[in-house]
Amino acid sequence: MEFPNPAKLHNQHVSLFAILSIATIVPNPAFATKECVFPAIFNFGDSNSDTGGLAASLIAPTPPYGETYFHRPAGRFSDGRLVIDFIGGVFASLMPKEEYFDKALYTFDIGQNDLGAGFFGNLTVQQVNATVPDIVNAFSKNIKVVQYPFWIFYCGVNLFIYCYYKFIILVIKDIYDLGARSFWIHNTGPIGCLPYILANFLSAERDAYGCAKTYNDIAQYFNHKLKEVVVQLRKDLPLAAITYVDIYSVKYSLFSHPKKYGFKLPLVACCGYGGEYNYSGSVGCGENIEGNGTEIFVGSCGRPSARVNWDGIHYTEAASKFIFDQISTGAFSETAIPLNMACHRSYTKSY
């Protein structure tokens, strides 16, 4: 999970997010297609795709979170809906039936938090980059369920990337053994374009669009290795339909060509305080700060629909809608598989 104030919250919560994410269940009775009917969606991911697990269990967002769509905080770390909401429908409120589990779509939205854990855990860029091969090696191993408590206890921030991939591969294989067949896996986005990275690592080399190049390079390396693992998973899980989605490219287009898609100031947080990127590690969106003897409320920019970034870490509803519109067509999956065909292995198979 990512948080509005990583300087305060990052270390104490990062090792819990994978577990809490399991609680993010979005039933989907309405979103169905002729080709693939997914009666439910089960999402595993950080706060970019968490619809309420974190809020219910640990820390709830306060106003102005949720102001665009729900008009109140609704468990999402955004001004409104997330990509998963557009896939699953925000009005689906019934828990899924038992028979839905083997017919559901299982989505994974991973990576940003894992890399961020290293960057904010006193690792150098080189050290974070060096952990990626270990992640991939761990990904190929089948760990038993009884090991959960051990590596949750053992993993500090510095080892979390390695351990998280162990967790994910275990989850995929376990739910596959229980009958899950359709998997929709997002790679990680351009973390070097996010205000919380830009504001905290001012000396990092910038690319032509103002993003921190080295941090994006690591994200792309992460994605390259993740794709290799997906290919191996297809071999290990012969009945599964596994779609790898290049969400990095979609998100990066918002930073490289914002005006083309109706956005502005993509590197600046809509809801934040201070500096070039309107982001501070000491005060976050919805909090109060003392200034000149008065208390200042950290609110939104007033027009989130024209902005890419919400609070320095997460995307706005408008950006999430744009991302969904792009990936649902299949234009950013390696076999051009649209969402409504993601249950068919013959379409997702790619070696």
pLDDT in tens, 150-167: 333 333 333 444 455 556
Residue 290 confidence (pLDDT)? 85
109 domain residue, yes or no: yes
From the list 311, 320, 328, 333, the catalytic residue is 311
Give CA torsion, residues 74, 79, 80, 82, to 10 deg: -100
270 is a domain residue: no
Q: Which of 47, 182, 320, 328 is catalytic?
A: 47
Flag whether 135 is in a domain. yes
Which residue has tokens 């709830």? 60
Task: Report the distance separating Cα 304 and Cα 262, nearest Å.
Answer: 12
Where the chain has pLDDT below 70, the residues are: 1-34, 90-94, 132-168, 347-351
User: Considering 186, 300, 314, 320, which one is annotated as catalytic?
Assistant: 314
In a domain, 283, yes or no: no
Domain total for the chain?
A: 1
Query: Within the chain, what is the greatest distance between any pair of CA atoms?
Result: 65
Which single residue is written with the structure tokens 């309405």? 30
| Residue 64: cis peptide before it, omega within 30 degrees of 0 | yes
Domain contains 249: yes
Quote the CA–CA distance of 252 and 263 in Å, as a whole number: 13
Domain range for 21 is 6-255+324-348
HSE of 9 in the Cβ direction (CA atoms, 13 Å)?
17
Amino acid (one-letter) located at 184? W
Is 275 a domain residue? no
Query: In whole angstroms, what is the distance from residue 96 CA to residue 107 CA?
Result: 15
CA dihedral defined by 124, 272, 47, 95, rounded to 10 degrees? 170
Q: Is residue 120 part of a domain?
A: yes
314 classed as catalytic: yes
pLDDT for the residue 144: 32
Q: Quote the pLDDT of residue 62.
A: 95
**Is 87 inside a domain boundary?**
yes
**Could you confirm whether 346 is annotated as catalytic?**
no
For the chain, what is the radius of gyration of the CA atoms? 19
